[in-house]
Structure 1
Amino acid sequence: MIVARTKDHDHEETDRERNSLFPILRQTENVLERKDFFDHMKSLESDFLAQLLDSYTLTLLLIDIDRMSTINGSYGHTIGDSLLDQVIVRLRSTEGCVSFAKMGGDQYAMLLHVPVDQFVISHIDRMMMKIKEPFFIEEHELYITVSIGWRSLTRRSVFHEILEQAEIAMYYAKKRGGDNWQIYDPDMSPHDGMEIEKRLHRALYHHEFLLYYQPQFQTASGELTGFEILLRWNNPDLGLVLPSVFIPMAERTGMIVTIGQWVLEEACRQRQVWYELGYTQFRIAVNLSARQFQQPNLAQMIEDTLRRTRLDPTLLELEITETIAMANVEQTFRTLTALAKIGVRLSIDDFGTGYSSLSYLCKFPLHRLKIDQSFLRDIPRAKEGMEVTRAIISLAHNLQLTVIAEGVETIEQLNFLYENHCDEMQGYFLSRPLTLQATEQFIAKLSNDESIS
């Protein structure tokens, strides 16, 4: 006879197993101090670790809270400290967390204890999704993300080496813009970041930055409507450095403000050159980073740039991500209102990936929403992505906003956007980002085929 095991019976057996086999791991009742956590991890460097690894995967995670300096600067340290208290509660509730410690600053360490027949990644992904849910502190609704580096223990693990490897992986996650995890890879170098940072300081003065231009098109007619401005770094020694590597570093060090000003000035100057050649209609779209958007003199800086370059404000569109917009809605409203008075167009980038409140969205003086490419990636196979895309298009139109989709890479995606009345689109299926020379050839060819002026 087969007797069905109940869930309660399973839990009882699990508890007995942990009580007998894993007394060292039961540390989650308190948030450990750094030294106690070190002692706890050192205690695993024994035959006990080999016994554990027969049935379980032990993984060390180093977790860094993204943008805490921004939150402290916007709301004050009292709100920031309350937020961290709530973050700790969520992190400690992660399934499989058996030890948790504050490592200093906004960084934490966690030891995950996962059965070998389960995927560590799925536990980490669920934890990151839980962290992205809103935090309510006093009258504020706050959102954060985390950067995680991790390394699983082996029978020969030495704690200080595992900790160093997880830390290197965490910094790689930060370099990629945060809100992601990285598993340690031996090819990761702890010195890469410092070397790139030194070169980044010199890049602007050595004229190593380039602008690329990705065309945007009207979905219904195929008419060129604008170009998104994309920054590239061509270093003589490193070659073409990916934005995912240097943009987070520039943001973290504050260099992004100076670099961003150069991008804006150069983009407006070039657009005015094209205007004087007779191409008067299409716009340029420039992304603003979080640090740029927080500058108290941002509107004045934009206005001064337009005056110097003599560019019509209506030909400039400024994009901020949904995450930036919702970081401090009061400040966002004030800044967007000041920018709207200048006459520039305003857009929310990566829409659908954050937690925008419709009440705030209605109040912001916006012109356009950009659908994040993640929703298009698996169309037509991904029904959920199709439904989200339809909903965003409908929402934008109901709010009298235009909507553009990025990341269009297939004819199926293009047809889907056409059938669902998405106003504009961009992506590799239509055109890759172009150098200045290629962009001018592109414009000249279009002007010969049809009027774009």
Structure 2
Amino acid sequence: MSNDSNSSFSLQQQKLFQLAKSKRISSVELQHTIEQLCEGIAEMIQCERIGVWLFDDEQPSLTALNVYQQHNGKHTSGERLYKHQFPAYFTLLKGTRVIAISDVSNDERVKELYPDYFSEAGNIQSMIDAPIVLANGVAGVVCCESSIARSWSRLEESLAGTFSDLVGFLLDSLQQQEMEKKLEYLAYYDQLTGLPNLNLFYSEVNGSIHRAKNPVLCYLQVDQVDQIIDALGYDGGDQIIKEIAGRFNRVLKSNETVARADHDHFALFLDEADVENRLKNILFLMSPPFLVTGYDVTATFSAGVSRHFHGENPAKELLQSAQIALNRGKMRSARSSVTWFTEEMKESSKDHFAIEMDLRKGLDLNQFILYFQPQVEGEEGEITGFESLIRWNHPEIGLVPPGVFIPLAESTGFIIPLGEWVIKESIKELKKFHDNGMDQVTISINISPRQFLHHRLPAIINEGLMQYHIPPERLCLEITESVAMEEEDLVIERLKLFDDMGIQLSVDDFGTGFSAFVYLQEYPIKEIKIDKEFIRRLTTNHKSIAIVKTIIDLAENLNISVIAEGLETIEQWALLNELGCKRFQGYLLSRPLPPDEINGWIDSYKRASFYSITRRK
């Protein structure tokens, strides 16, 4: 080997090490440097062909990163050798430092490659192979191939090994950089959607918020993701999230930022004078159906909106405020709510948080109890049923009103296990009534909108009825008119299913919602309960009388039973009786009772006539 060759190789070594130390190594720079090194090593050890091959474990195979032909000066790449064709050779590379072969035609180690590979490579007679070893294993091989039979010197073997080490050093450095890029991507971007995650969102918003004229942060939740997962599986849930992310990218302006904040939540930063109309416009553009696994799926969004901040991390502060507003809005409406943050919400959210934590423990600690309010019918006052009403006996606060914990349970999803407990305990109590000879009474159970559409509800009810041998017609499910605001097709399907099961369906608080009369026309409803507000105003408001009369007459024509809920005075009873209402529930008859007081109430009730009860002061 000449001094010039040694000098050239030394220079190539220096260049390679400098490049490997650089923090901006690219695959293009790697390819160019490998080509130069192949030319240099070919000249130094006088080989006709120098190749750098890399393992592809997925195939599995060896792929040529670069093959240099000295006789014509050409560089090629992409040639592939497959493991199933040369299994022994692949195994050899994994366990040998340098493979020096003087005669390829008579060496057992490469008999799989002879004669086809060596002939196609240019009638190769001798070769040195030096595996490329990285930190995580053998990555490939450097092949020095000669068309002249020769014995390799130790120096030539050492040079091939050094070349292999230098290539390995460079590949290690490149892999490290690629890993760092992947880690950086994972740190700042959501893997499923490619949207920024909250880390990048906070950084971008904090960097631009002080230049914004009207900064506003919106925290959005996709209302239907859980139902989509129930219907189409987790793949369907992932697909709708990806479709939503893609549409956000298309409808937002250049100065608007979106991030995926959680499973079905997105954070949106706007700088708009008329932010309410801009948000309406964005939600309108997001409203057309998405194609998910062959289905047209409509998604709606609930939003919390915040614009005031005071601290050093305004983006995080705004997001937390917007989240509080979103949660508050979800308590009022399960779908399509837009709620602006107020400072009062922040204080009450602390109380709600404490209650929520206790709420989850309460079920495990048996702190919930059921009360039952009687329902009577006819002039004789026959007991026809009881409404099941949940109460929470908090160890520190005492009895927590349902109006406090039910909306919280609904918004957090805890209503599902809580509702299942109510159903099971109510049916269990109904069994006791039947065993005591009251086999004609029904139990009415309030079902929340979220629970009504839950896929497990029919099975839970059926299991309870079968366990206690209760006829399904003795169970009445009370739903509110707000259920009609959910997925209409699913609501109709669920109502029909319960009707086919023989379960009675009742509309609670009838007359207060936009959909009241649609219920009677479209759904298999057996009972309606006139809202207590109409009953309360009955003796003081002529419009209430007209409304109640209309409801009673309409129900009678449709063969639907009517209950007057919230009966409190003799005057109300007399007027309702005159209007044609024969079923009643309210404090005039009895307050809601714990189970251990029901038998005593029944005994005292039976000793008195309904006539005398209605004249109590």
Instruction: State the TM-score, normalized to the length of structure 2.
Output: 0.49
Q: Counterpart of 1:278 in 2: which secondary structure?
A: coil
In structure 1, what residue type is equivalent to 2:477? Answer: L
Shift of 1:400: 0.8
In structure 2, what residue type is equivalent to 1:375? Answer: F
Name the structure 2 match of 1:369: 528
1:410-438: CA deviation from partner (whole Å, max 9, x where unpaired): 33432332221123222233322111122
Is 1:296 the counterpart of 2:479? The answer is no
Aligned equivalents of 1:164, 1:440: Cα separation in 2: 51
1:361-394: CA deviation from partner (whole Å, max 9, x where unpaired): 3342221011222333333333333332222222
Q: Is this contact kept in 2: 1:150–1:166, CA < 8 A? A: yes
Instruction: Look at both structures and tell me which one has the larger radius of gyration over its CA atoms.
Output: 2
Query: Residue 341 and residue 215 in structure 1: after superposition, are their counterparts in 2 closer, same or farther (change >3 A)?
Result: same
Name the structure 2 match of 1:260: 419
Aligned equivalents of 1:196, 1:417: Cα separation in 2: 40
Aligned equivalents of 1:236, 1:421: Cα separation in 2: 45
Match of 2:570 among 379, 399, 411: 411
Shift of 1:286: 0.7
Query: Residue 347 and residue 360 in structure 1: after superposition, are their counterparts in 2 closer, same or farther (change >3 A)?
Result: closer
Aligned equivalents of 1:419, 1:373: Cα separation in 2: 18
Q: What are the residue-to-residue correspondences of 1:371-410 with 2, within 5 Å?
A: 371-410=530-569
Q: Counterpart of 2:391 in 1: which secondary structure?
A: strand
Is 1:213 the counterpart of 2:401? The answer is no
Q: What are the residue-to-residue correspondences of 1:247-396 with 2, within 5 Å?
A: 247-356=406-515, 358=517, 361-396=520-555
Q: Is this contact kept in 2: 1:229–1:284, CA < 8 A? A: yes
Aligned equivalents of 1:375, 1:221: Cα separation in 2: 24
Higher relative contact order (Cα pairs below 8 Å, separated by 6+ residues): 1
Could you say what the CA RMSD is over the residues aligned between the two structures, in angstroms?
A: 4.8
Aligned equivalents of 1:62, 1:430: Cα separation in 2: 49
Name the structure 2 match of 1:436: 595
Query: Residue 360 and residue 266 in structure 1: after superposition, are their counterparts in 2 closer, same or farther (change >3 A)?
Result: closer
The total of aligned residue pairs comes to 370
Q: Is this contact kept in 2: 1:350–1:371, CA < 8 A? A: yes
1:261-318: CA deviation from partner (whole Å, max 9, x where unpaired): 2111111111111211112222110111223221334333222211111222222111
Identity percentage over the alignment? 33
Name the structure 1 match of 2:63: none
Aligned equivalents of 1:164, 1:290: Cα separation in 2: 27
Q: Is this contact kept in 2: 1:227–1:283, CA < 8 A? A: yes
Consecutive unaligned residues of structure 1, counting only runs of 5 or more, are: 1-33, 46-59, 86-100, 114-134
Q: Counterpart of 2:364 in 1: which secondary structure?
A: coil
Name the structure 1 match of 2:395: 236
Consecutive unaligned residues of structure 2, counting only runs of 5 or more, are: 1-203, 249-256, 274-286, 291-295, 611-617
Aligned equivalents of 1:62, 1:251: Cα separation in 2: 22
Q: Counterpart of 2:347 in 1: which secondary structure?
A: coil
Aligned equivalents of 2:545, 2:304: Cα separation in 1: 30
Mean Cα displacement is larger for which, 206-215 or 320-329? 320-329
In structure 1, what residue type is equivalent to 2:588? Answer: F
Aligned equivalents of 2:431, 2:594: Cα separation in 1: 17
Aligned equivalents of 1:162, 1:332: Cα separation in 2: 36
Aligned equivalents of 1:287, 1:249: Cα separation in 2: 16
Aligned equivalents of 1:385, 1:378: Cα separation in 2: 6
1:134-172: CA deviation from partner (whole Å, max 9, x where unpaired): x9999x9x9x99898999x9xxx9697999778757645
Q: What are the residue-to-residue correspondences of 1:30-49 with 2, within 5 Å?
A: none
1:211-234: CA deviation from partner (whole Å, max 9, x where unpaired): 011112226443322111001111
Is 1:202 the counterpart of 2:361? The answer is yes
